[in-house]
Structure 1
Amino acid sequence: MRPSEIAQLLAGADDAGLFSAADALTRENFGTEIYLRGVIEFSNHCVNNCRYCGLRRANRDVHRYRLSVDEIVSCTALARELSLGTVVVQSGDDYTYTREDIGRVVTGAKEQADVAVTLSLGDRPEADFLYWREIGADRYLLKIETFDEALYAKSRPGLALADRLDRVEALRKAGYEVGSGIITDLPGMTPDILASDLARLSALDLDMIAVGPFVPSPGTPYGDAPAGSVLTAFRAMAVLRLLNPLANIPSTSALNALRDGAREQGLTVGANVIMPSLTPETVGGDYAIYPGKNALRADAASRLAAVRAAIRRVGRTPSTAVGGSKRRRHG
């Protein structure tokens, strides 16, 4: 699919046909199963100053926290108790945690819960990637946000797109299942940029692809920018499904931050994954990359029950499977 064709679909040329085709392709490859990944957001400290993110270093209004290694491992054990096959260990770019600290989390998760472990820790040295993979980490999620060099540089001051892409390739070479993603309607993004982003993201041939709408966050330079369109995000998700039939595609919490019920609706337009938070409720609300990120203030079991009920409301089946990459099995 050429960028010009993608642009037409993003503009609403055939929403009914687009969404129907994406849904049919998702059912063909995944049935009605929705994979659940329990996210443990263990630190909201970040050395970066991304203009769109509430956790940016310069935001003094954030109540910062860090979980200990033992606390993180306890959360991974909870994942197995709640019948989740995967945990996502996530933080801002926080180098207080050493390579060995994260290694203890990986081995602890494997010993206590026997779950697939996805890491989402931002930019780390290639040696760290290799070490974690060798001791059992299964997946790594590293968002791109946009492939437009000028927009990337503006949105992520001091950082370069080429470096990010090099890290994605390093993760692939290390043997991870690799995930990445973009933000739709990021301030400064044009329809042509988004169409190109979707094509370039698909060309990376990733195991997981995420796309979520921009949600303005107080305390950031983009805090007064207009929120992204849920419909545009749905169109982007559907296009990604058509371009990546076997990829795992999550329906993100950013959708619900903009419109209640949008996350489960995303499961009908190409998504096959939901990532509920397992972060302790005492700190979960502080992981505010955008308002509403962890809006449901309840214990993890209650949050997960609500997610499973929402999945069933749209005719899907919450899965307990690890949900590994189908792309690899067919490659």
Structure 2
Amino acid sequence: MTNFQKILLQTDFSRDDLVTLLSSEGDERQQLFHRAQSVKLQAVGNKVYFRGLVEFSNICAKDCLYCGIRKSNEKVIRYEATDEEILETCRFAWENRFGSVVLQSGELSSPTFVNRIDLLLQKIKQLSNNELGITLSCGEQSIETYRQWKESGAHRYLLRIESSNPDLYRRIHPENDFHSFDRRLQALQDLKTAGYQVGTGVMIGLPFQTTEDLANDLLFLKQIDVDMVGMGPYIEHEDTPLYDFRSSLKTKQERFDLALKMVATLRLLMPEINIAAATALQAIDPAGREKALTIGANIIMPNLTSIKYRKEYQLYEDKPCLDEDAELCRNCLEARIELSGCEIGYGEWGDSKHFIQKS
């Protein structure tokens, strides 16, 4: 048995072990993927759970240097879906047995925004007879806000750290208290305190990022005992400051391959968490999300956002499915998931087994 094969059979991993797995190529890479698939089937089964994505607003108070909807990007046409549009989309998700929705927006924290989300949560629960699970991805808020939203029906929250390396975090964000690494960490802790299933994630293939950084990202996810992860390849956007460093990037294919290895390695490290097949994978490879499902991911997020808004919610370039309505997106994904050999958990929340066991 080779040293690589011995690492694959471990249940505890050092940073060096993770670097070895993330550096794998050829046959060793395939061994990693095969092992991750085996661990996934044993730990969480063969079901894939839908999270119907509703990108209801691209208005953002933050100015992250990598993001296409950053506050300073004046080329973006800002929008805000109406309550009626949001509720109709959630009704579609419920009637089509998606199980859950994700309400996602730019980061705002005004009392008007907080109260609006609170009322929407209550109405979504009412229209679905309390059957539709709700994940929020609305940025940093106070712990009081998190508790208020939890009381009104949200039970999962995604807040990506993007990089667990404080120095790299500062290089991809403006240098001010509003974009503080420590503030981000505190928000993640507040979400745990408020009782959410907590999700976070990182970008893979950033400028200035090393394989050691990514290994440390994986250890960070385990250290904070996260319940779900959404991570994918960094894809540059020409209307952002980070675009100036594009010449230092790995190729998109290299970033894609590295993202798959991150998904597979994370499945070995944290077998019972939920791992999303990121949409950004499909921006590079048409079958990107399905490939992630076969090597460790078990969550997929069909985009239910109205077509008239989608092109204005581009955090990165070449975002897929901009012209597919909700029904077409659903039909396409159902076929793709079937081809990948997975089963769809219709009507199920698909909560993190890791979270359930802790509870």
- In 2, distance between residues paired with 1:292 and 1:110? 34
The residue aligned with 2:273 is 247
* Deviation readout 1:177-236 (Å, 9 max, x if unpaired): 110000111111111111111111122111101220000112011225135511100111
The residue aligned with 1:181 is 201
The residue aligned with 1:101 is 116
Is the 2:307–2:322 Cα contact (8 Å) retained in structure 1?
Answer: no
The residue aligned with 2:3 is none
Question: 1:10 Cα deviation (Å)?
Answer: 0.9
- In 1, distance between residues paired with 2:136 and 2:31? 36
Is the 1:153–1:161 Cα contact (8 Å) retained in structure 2?
Answer: yes
Question: 1:328 Cα deviation (Å)?
Answer: 2.5
Identify the range of structure 1 (136-145 vs 64-73) with the bigger mean alpha-carbon deviation.
64-73
* Deviation readout 1:241-276 (Å, 9 max, x if unpaired): 011111000010100111211111111111001011
Match of 1:118 among 135, 153, 159: 135
Residue identity matched to 1:90: Q
Q: Percent identity?
A: 34
In the alignment, is residue 277 of structure 1 matched against residue 297 of structure 2? no
- In 2, distance between residues paired with 1:176 and 1:95? 19
Q: Report the 3-state secondary structure (helix = DSSP H, G, I; strand = E; otherwise coil) of the residue aligned with 1:74.
A: helix
In the alignment, is residue 70 of structure 1 matched against residue 70 of structure 2? no
Q: TM-score, normalised by structure 1?
A: 0.96
Larger Rg: 2
- In 1, distance between residues paired with 2:330 and 2:261? 27
The residue aligned with 1:237 is 263
Match of 2:65 among 37, 51, 55: 51
Residue identity matched to 1:330: Q
In the alignment, is residue 330 of structure 1 matched against residue 344 of structure 2? no
Residue identity matched to 1:238: A
- Structure 2 counterparts to residues 139-154 of structure 1, below 5 A: 139-154=156-171
Question: 1:68 Cα deviation (Å)?
Answer: 2.0
- In 1, distance between residues paired with 2:159 and 2:22? 24
Is the 1:238–1:269 Cα contact (8 Å) retained in structure 2?
Answer: yes
Residue identity matched to 1:3: R
Q: Report the 3-state secondary structure (helix = DSSP H, G, I; strand = E; otherwise coil) of the residue aligned with 2:324.
A: coil
The residue aligned with 1:203 is 223
Is the 1:43–1:94 Cα contact (8 Å) retained in structure 2?
Answer: no
Residue identity matched to 2:92: L
- In 1, distance between residues paired with 2:184 and 2:171? 15
Q: Report the 3-state secondary structure (helix = DSSP H, G, I; strand = E; otherwise coil) of the residue aligned with 1:42.
A: strand
Moved over 6 A (4+): none
Q: Report the 3-state secondary structure (helix = DSSP H, G, I; strand = E; otherwise coil) of the residue aligned with 1:222.
A: helix
- In 2, distance between residues paired with 1:117 and 1:26? 24
- In 2, distance between residues paired with 1:54 and 1:261? 24
Residue identity matched to 1:327: H
The residue aligned with 1:156 is 173
What root-mean-square deviation, in Å, do the aligned CA atoms of Structure 1 and Structure 2 show?
1.4
Question: 1:296 Cα deviation (Å)?
Answer: 4.1
Residue identity matched to 1:251: A
Match of 2:48 among 21, 34, 51: 34
Residue identity matched to 2:18: I
Is the 1:89–1:117 Cα contact (8 Å) retained in structure 2?
Answer: yes
Is the 2:321–2:329 Cα contact (8 Å) retained in structure 1?
Answer: no
Match of 1:222 among 233, 242, 256: 242
Identify the range of structure 1 (92-101 vs 57-66) with the bigger mean alpha-carbon deviation.
92-101
In the alignment, is residue 265 of structure 1 matched against residue 265 of structure 2? no
- In 2, distance between residues paired with 1:188 and 1:55? 22
Identify the range of structure 1 (216-225 vs 269-278) with the bigger mean alpha-carbon deviation.
216-225
Question: 1:153 Cα deviation (Å)?
Answer: 1.1
Aligned residue pairs, count: 331
Is the 1:285–1:294 Cα contact (8 Å) retained in structure 2?
Answer: no
Question: 1:294 Cα deviation (Å)?
Answer: 4.2
The residue aligned with 2:8 is none
Residue identity matched to 2:148: Y
C-alpha change, 1:189 and 1:94, in structure 2 (3 Å) is same
Structure 2: any 5+ residue segments left out of the alignment? 1-12
Is the 2:44–2:353 Cα contact (8 Å) retained in structure 1?
Answer: no
Question: 1:297 Cα deviation (Å)?
Answer: 0.7
Question: 1:103 Cα deviation (Å)?
Answer: 0.5
- In 1, distance between residues paired with 2:74 and 2:296? 38
In the alignment, is residue 319 of structure 1 matched against residue 310 of structure 2? no
In the alignment, is residue 6 of structure 1 matched against residue 31 of structure 2? no
- In 2, distance between residues paired with 1:298 and 1:192? 38
C-alpha change, 1:75 and 1:263, in structure 2 (3 Å) is same
The residue aligned with 1:85 is 99
Residue identity matched to 1:28: Q
Question: 1:314 Cα deviation (Å)?
Answer: 1.0
Is the 2:205–2:233 Cα contact (8 Å) retained in structure 1?
Answer: yes
Is the 2:77–2:312 Cα contact (8 Å) retained in structure 1?
Answer: yes
Is the 1:277–1:294 Cα contact (8 Å) retained in structure 2?
Answer: no
- In 2, distance between residues paired with 1:288 and 1:45? 12
